[in-house]
Every structure is written in C-alpha cells, then in structure tokens.
Structure 1
C-alpha cells in the first residue's frame, strides 16, 4: 500500500511540472461519523476534528487532478469497550470548477482507501477501498493565495461477494456476473483550507 501511495505522489509531482496551476492546501475541519452495524452489534465512531492536505494540479481548463490526505483522531465505542483510534483517508480524484473569478464553486469525485487504526487496547487496523463526493467553493484572494470551503461524503466499502452465472434457455444462452459492496459507515467532512497557488 505504501509503495502505491509513493508512486501516486511521484506521478502527481511529474504532472505538476507541466501544469498551468498547482495548488497546495492545508485543511482543517470536522468529521461527523456514524455507527458501524456488525450483525446487530454497533460500534460508534465519535465525531471529531480533522486535518490534512491537498495537492491539486490543473490539467485542463477548470479541471484539476487532486491528491488528498485527511486524518481525524477519535474514539470508537461499542462491544462493551471504548478505544482511541485514528481514521485516515487517502484519495485520488478529479475536481471540476464551474466558473472563473473571485468565487469559484466546484464539485469533486475521488477514489482511494480508508485506514482505521486502533491506538489503545490493541493494535488492530483495517484498510478499506473507499470513494468520495464533495462540493465547495474557492475564494481567490490574490494570484497566490485563496481560501477553500468544502464538504465531502467519504464512503468506505466492504466487499460482500461476487458471482458469475451462465445459462441456456428457450431464448438463447448468456452469461452475467456481479460484485456487491456495502458501506459500513459514512464520514461527513466539512472544513476550510488555505490555498497556496503556484503558477507557471
């Protein structure tokens, strides 16, 4: 997993050499998390502050490729115990702006992984494939500095199963397949960041 993250970082670094605009954005905010239902036994993840950073590289007019990292240190309670834990989000996405000017609304989609780490009472950890959707706005204060306001829904996915079927009938023959996932918990993130713009 770490090798993949390092590879993605170097790919973004290479893209930044040819980009019109590169934005570095440290972010701070708050995460509202829910309960994980494990066959009727609930594990509640406490809402808490988040922090992280974004690397945004413009690759087309109003379009950015984005590498993001978010973390919140929190508590999880359930199954007759409470533990300190951390939740990390590693995402690669695409951001689409809708205008140019001082106020720039945007939307984004991303895919990556969510990492859950137990920090007390054990050393359990889990990686889940995840995706995110978000909206927000950039307030461009100058050529080099701006403010980013955002809200995201982060959706970790658990693999439920896969199947492949073939059959022959009166209407002919055919095959089909499918993969199913479920979302064990939704993280609703909201916050702000200071945009530092680097332009070629």
Structure 2
C-alpha cells in the first residue's frame, strides 16, 4: 500500500508542473470513531485527536485532485482488553469548489486504504480498502494563505464475497456477477487546516 501511495505522490508531482494552483494543508482535528459489533465480534475504537496533511492540485476551474493522509493515535477495546493503537487513512480524491471569493465552500470524495496498527500487547496490522465523503469551506486570508474547515466520513470496507453465475431459461440465457462489502466501522472527522497556496 505504501508503494501505491508513493506512486500517487509521484503522479501528483507530474501534474503539479501544469497545475493552476497547488495547496499544501497541514490539518488537525478530532475523530469520532464507531465500534464493530457484528458476526460475534466486538471492538470499540475510542474518539481522539487527528493530524495529517493534504496536497491539492487544481487541474480545472473549481476542480482539484487531492492526496491526503490522516492519523489518530488512540485506544481500542474488546470485551477482554484495551490496547494502544493507531488509525491511518491514505486517500486520493476529487474536490469540487462551489464559489469564488474569500469564502469557498467545497465537497469531496476519495478512495484509498485505511490501516489499523496495534501499538501495545502485540503487533497486529490490518489494511482495509476505504472511501470517504467530505465537505467544508476555505477561508482565504490572502492569495497565498487561508484556513480550511472540514468534516469527513471515512468508511473502511471489508470484502464479504464474490460470485459469478450463468443460466439458460425459456427467455434466453445470460451471465452476471457481483461483489459484496460491509462497512465494519465509521470514522467521522472534524477539523481545520492552514492552507499554503503555491501559485504558478
């Protein structure tokens, strides 16, 4: 997964050559995490502070492609124990602005991966495919500096299964297939960041 994230970063570096704007945004906030309580499992991820950063590259009017990293160091509880752990989200997404001026509302969608790392009592690491939805506003203080206020829903996905089948009936034949996922836990993030805009 790290190789994929590095490849995405290099792709962003290539896009930056022709970008209209580039924004670097360190972020800080708070993550409200849920709990897994299905299929006989119980695991509660505690709410905690988050930090990370965003690299946003404008490729068209009002449109950005965005590379993001978020992490929170927290605790997780089962019925039997509580452990120290970290939750990380690596995402590539698209951001759409809805206005020009000093206050710029936006919405975004992203796809990537989430990693859950045990830091005490073991060394278990779990990677899950994940997606995110977000919204917020940029408060531009100057041509180069601004504030970003945001909220995100991060949705890690567990693969349930896949199927492929074909059949022939009185009305003809056909084939179909499907893949199913479930969302074991939801992370709701609120935060702010300092926008540093690099203009060409």
TM range (shorter): over 0.9
Q: CA deviation at 1:79?
A: 3.3
Q: Where in structure 2 are there 5+ consecutive unaligned residues?
A: none
Q: CA deviation at 1:38?
A: 4.2
Q: CA deviation at 1:27?
A: 0.2
Residue 184 of structure 2 corresponds to residue 184 of structure 1? yes
Q: TM-score, normalised by structure 1?
A: 0.99
Q: Which residue of 2 aligns with 1:20?
A: 20
Residue 132 of structure 2 corresponds to residue 135 of structure 1? no
Q: Would you identify which runs of 4 or more consecutive aligned residues in structure 1 move more than 6 Å?
A: none
For these two proteins, the number of residue pairs brought into alignment is 200
Which stretch of the first structure deviates more once superposed, 30-39 or 109-118?
30-39
Query: What SS does structure 2 have at the residue aligned with 1:17?
Result: helix
Q: TM-score, normalised by structure 2?
A: 0.99
Instruction: Quote the RMSD (CA, aligned, Å).
Output: 0.7
Task: Provide, for residues 70-120 of structure 1, a one-character-per-residue CA deviation record: whole Å limited to 9, x for no partner.
Answer: 000000001300000000000000000001000000000000000000000
Separation of aligned partners in 2, 1:17 and 1:46: 41
Checking the alignment, whether the CA contact within 8 Å between 1:149 and 1:191 is kept in structure 2 is yes
Q: CA deviation at 1:59?
A: 0.2
Separation of aligned partners in 2, 1:170 and 1:110: 44
Query: What SS does structure 2 have at the residue aligned with 1:5?
Result: helix
Q: Where in structure 1 are there 5+ consecutive unaligned residues?
A: none
Q: Which residue of 2 aligns with 1:146?
A: 146
Q: CA deviation at 1:6?
A: 1.1
